[in-house]
Amino acid sequence: MKKNLLFYIFFNFGILFSLSVLFSLSNDCLETLSLQKFSNTKALNQIIGSNNSGKWFELESALWLDKYIKEKVSGFELDFTVWQKDSHMDKNNFIQVPLSSGELFELKTTELDVITSNYVIESKSVPVYYATGNANMTQFLKEKNFLDWLSLVYQEYMSGSLITHITISLRKERIILTLCGECTANQEVSLFCSWINRYDEETYEDDEDAYVYLWFQLIKSLSEKKLIVMFKNKLSEDDVQKLRQNNIFFVDEIEYFQTPDDGANAERFQVAINI
């Protein structure tokens, strides 16, 4: 009995050790390939240096798109911090802003995983039973609505009716864009973006017009992109139906280290995003 128990313990330890080594090698390969493929891509160093375990599938998603879809990756970890005047007084009181449909939604801080030429990618490597849980679905809809809202911001900016102001925070190197117009329900809303700061854009010095231009180039670019959720695992039929009911485009069973089959992967990607 004792021998069987010891065998069981060592056998399972061996399996766990082998899996940990395998995952470690896989992650090392992802990092090496990403540094080769995306050496001049925005925020690559930040994502590789982060402690977030989800970063590995974000890198794998980017590599998969580059390899199988021939999609150019523009950057990683694009975060927008949103706040309004006196919002610190009540952290649960979010501003309601309009969508292109006429509906209102709560504008909140939003994080975007991977940006490509045509898409904004949300990468999910969670177990399949969490795939479309309430927290994840709320996140997907928030990102989808945020991109839709940016399209209204850009339209109003181009019409000349949107009030804009740049604040340069010397202490935190932030370039803060403040907006006021119909797209903000005529309230002042301020945005800070992780991709736009004084450290990266030293050539602009303190030129407010140049920073406004930089901000709206990014807003225009994002407003033209489609949100795609990429899942590591195969989704259940129930998850598929939930995503389609909410008009969320998705691709599942993403695996970079697989037998090369560019045509099949490209075909299923195009089918998925056109449903």
| DSSP letter for each residue of the chain | -HHHHHHHHHHHHHHHHHHHHHHHHHHHHHHHHHHHHSTTSBTHHHHHHS--TTHHHHHHHHHHIIIII-PPEEEEEEEEEEEETTGGG-TT-PPEEE-TTS-EEE---EEEEEEESSEEEEEE-S-GGGTT-HHHHHHHHHHHHHHHHHHHHHHHHHHT--EEEEEEETTTTEEEEEEESGGGTTS-EEEEETT-BTTTTGGGTT-HHHHHHHHHHHHHHHHT-EEEEEESSPPPHHHHHHHHHTT-EEE----SSS---HHHHHHHHHHHHT-
Per-residue pLDDT tens for 228-240?
999 999 999 999 9
Q: Is residue 273 very low, low, confident or very high in pLDDT (cuts 50, 70, 90)?
A: confident
Q: What is the pTM of this model?
A: 0.85
The residue among 22 and 255 whose pLDDT is bigger is 255
Whether the CB-CB separation of 143 and 122 falls below 8 Å is answered with: yes
Least confident of 82-86, 95-99, 108-112, 114-118: 82-86
Residue 15's CB is within 10 A of a number of other CB atoms, namely 10
Q: Is the pLDDT of residue 244 over 50?
A: yes
**What's the pLDDT score for residue 198?**
64
At residue 31, the pLDDT reads 93
Question: What is the pLDDT at residue 164?
Answer: 95
Band (261; pLDDT cuts 50, 70, 90): low
At 113 the pLDDT is 97
**pLDDT per position as a tens digit, 1-57:** 544 444 344 334 343 333 333 334 488 899 999 999 999 999 999 999 998 888 999
Please give the average per-residue pLDDT across 134-155, as a whole number: 95
* Greatest extent of the chain over all pairs of C-alpha atoms, in Å: 81
> How far apart are the C-alpha atoms of 235 and 132, rounded to whole Å?
9
Name which residue leads in pLDDT, 130 or 216.
216
Burial class (CB in 10 A: 0-12, 13-18, 19+), 215: buried
Confidence check: pLDDT of 199 > 90: no
Q: What average pLDDT does the segment 191-219 reach? A: 81
Cα–chain center distance at 177? 20
Given a cut of 80, whether residue 214 has pLDDT beyond it is yes
pLDDT at residue 152 is higher than 60? yes
